[in-house]
Structure 1
Amino acid sequence: MGLGSLRDDLNPLQRFGYEVRQVRKGRKITQGRLASGTGYSVAYVSKVESGKVMPSPKFARGCDHVFGTNGLFERLHPNAEGNAPEWFEPYLNLEREATAILDYSSTLFMGILQTSDYARAVIRAAHPREEPAEIEAKVDSRIGRRRVMERKNPPILWVVLHEACLRTLVGSKKVMHAQLERILRFAESPQVTIQVLTFNAGAPPSHLPFTLLRHRDKSMRLYSETPYRGHVADSEAAVSDAEATFDLLRATSLSPDDSLSFTRKVMEEYDT
């Protein structure tokens, strides 16, 4: 049995759930059997079918296995970034098209740089009541952002990391060691520059994280966050102030070479 007629009134998340439900019922498969076959709970299947939760890629592959649909649901899977909150979508669109990304991370590493285990620990801390499958969907979404650095012409990425990013124990020592190891590998790319702003540098020019994104038309956008949501600004005054702050951050940080040596030293401390 094929898919039902497409519903124009549904967003991609709802459409995926609708098609799962249609095929499941057409094959006379219960939610319990689908849950067992995909390795998820009945509650999770119900939420996916009602369009309330982003299905993980693993769940999509599991549907194909249970239904025998030969990769159909994996292809139908909504863009993983659809799991991001609505207010974050403008930033993701800008990130995908950026020619340069200038980021200041004050406490946690930016999403592009995160390992799966680090992202999982961060997301679990922010969403302690969500089911493991929902956490994994968010992890998949965040890790998917790496693709921007894997495209044919990746953007220039210049990141200033406050030492707090390196010192804040996220997950475990093992998780942090792997995270810092990833930072060092990332910095091997000619497109990537990493600098560390140490505690010894004193009060930082900014205590809040922010990101500047430049595009092909030379325009610049500023992304900043409050505790509950993010905001994209393109006003000349806001962007100019952020550029000046980023210049100060770079000037007061360790050099790129010294930053990598410092990062390597902190990474080795997590071995003890």
Structure 2
Amino acid sequence: MEQEPTGARRRLGAELRRLRVNAGLKLEDAARGLGCSTSKISRLENGKGVPRPAEVTALVAVYGGASGAEAEMLDRLVAESRTRGWWEPFTEGLRSDPHFLPAPGRYAAVETDATAVAAFDLTVLHGLLQTADYARAALRARLPDRPDREIDQLVDLRRRRREALTATPPLALDAVVDESVLARATGGAGVMAAQLDRLLDLAGSPGVTLRVLSFAAGPLRAHAGRFAILTVPPELGPDVVHTEGHAGETFLESGPDVATYRAVFDEVRAAALDRDGSLDAVVRYRDAHRAAVTGGSHERHARTTS
């Protein structure tokens, strides 16, 4: 079965790293043999960028070659690494931004390889949980200078990502949401009421676990910023932590970094409400936003008839 290009690149990188280590060579040795920089070898081993067949062939020769079956596998991985990912049509033409949109589609590419996502959010809901209207409001707030066309592309990308929750097997999502996310009227009260209705539906889906961190829990380490931990099959590479901030997004793959974020997530999940308490909180805020819509309509009607 063919892999998505990012998964193939990560698998290819892992194989190249294995061949180099088995040959007793360091990154510097490999770079010298290929006549390139160590950063190029590192990028290949980390599954970043599109590998060139001739370069991979030359690198394998530096490592002493590969057996027939092994060589066939490497050729297949190179070919699959050079295909287009499903997300690329959704990101064509999007301008990169060093702070807010450094690599459109990169998160979707990693998420495609993942089998599970553990996420903590304290400003807006995770993209997998968002309705189109909510996503549009959240993206417009984050990217105020982008044309509507680009915002629409990113909304469509999030819609397509949501299909993973109903795939076979589904992507497992363990989401902890700060209570402030439920209270904040992202997109207005009407959009928020519809979003929380959708959240209640998703909370009943196989593979989706929802917990709400109430205000009563007080501040925790997790409040330093939103993050998502993506569990990736070992053959495709290490697990990944994705974070966002004013300086842009970050992808962390080192063992100690991932372990730290797993400990933080375990802590915040333990402090959150249980399933029933979490659903009660969502219903309470859904009803409050719905009431705000009704109250606003009555107020406007009163003004027009006075």
Q: How many residue pairs get matched?
A: 197
- What residue identity is the alignment partner of 2:260? D
- What residue identity is the alignment partner of 2:257? A
After superposition, residues 194-233 of structure 1 pair within 5 angstroms as: 194-207=210-223, 208-217=225-234, 219-233=238-252
2:125 pairs, out of 92, 97, 109, with 109
Deviation at 1:141, TM superposition (A): 2.1
Alignment deviations for residues 110-136 of structure 1 (CA, whole Å, 9 cap, x no partner):
111111111111122223333333322
Work out the CA distance in 2 between the residues paired with 1:96 and 1:158. 16
Deviation at 1:151, TM superposition (A): 2.0
Work out the CA distance in 1 between the residues paired with 2:285 and 2:107. 31
Work out the CA distance in 2 between the residues paired with 1:240 and 1:131. 39
Query: Is 1:271 aligned to residue 305 of structure 2?
Result: no
2:184 pairs, out of 168, 181, 187, with 168
- What residue identity is the alignment partner of 2:138? V
1:155 pairs, out of 158, 165, 171, with 171
Work out the CA distance in 2 between the residues paired with 1:266 and 1:211. 24
Provide the secondary structure at the position in 2 that maps to 1:119: helix
| Deviation >6 Å, runs of 4+ | none
- What residue identity is the alignment partner of 1:234? E
Per the alignment, residue 192 of structure 1 pairs with 208
After superposition, residues 39-58 of structure 1 pair within 5 angstroms as: none
- What residue identity is the alignment partner of 1:196? V
Work out the CA distance in 1 between the residues paired with 2:190 and 2:280. 19
Work out the CA distance in 2 between the residues paired with 1:77 and 1:106. 26
- What residue identity is the alignment partner of 2:199? I
TM-score (norm 2): 0.60
Per the alignment, residue 89 of structure 2 pairs with 79
Which has the greater radius of gyration? 2
**Higher deviation after alignment, 177-186 or 78-87:** 78-87
Aligned 8 A contact 2:87 2:105 in 1: no
In structure 2, runs of 5+ residues without a counterpart are 1-85, 292-306
Name the Cα RMSD after superposition.
Answer: 2.1
1:99 pairs, out of 103, 115, 134, with 115
Per the alignment, residue 182 of structure 1 pairs with 198
Provide the secondary structure at the position in 1 that maps to 2:290: coil
Per the alignment, residue 41 of structure 2 pairs with none
Work out the CA distance in 2 between the residues paired with 1:103 and 1:189. 17
Aligned 8 A contact 2:179 2:213 in 1: yes
Aligned 8 A contact 1:87 1:231 in 2: no
Q: Percent identity?
A: 32
Work out the CA distance in 2 between the residues paired with 1:77 and 1:220. 20
Alpha-carbon distance change, 154 to 77 in structure 1, aligned in 2, over 3 angstroms: closer
Work out the CA distance in 2 between the residues paired with 1:127 and 1:224. 17
Deviation at 1:205, TM superposition (A): 2.5
Aligned 8 A contact 1:80 1:144 in 2: no
- What residue identity is the alignment partner of 2:244? E
TM-score (norm 1): 0.67
Deviation at 1:224, TM superposition (A): 1.1
In structure 1, runs of 5+ residues without a counterpart are 1-75
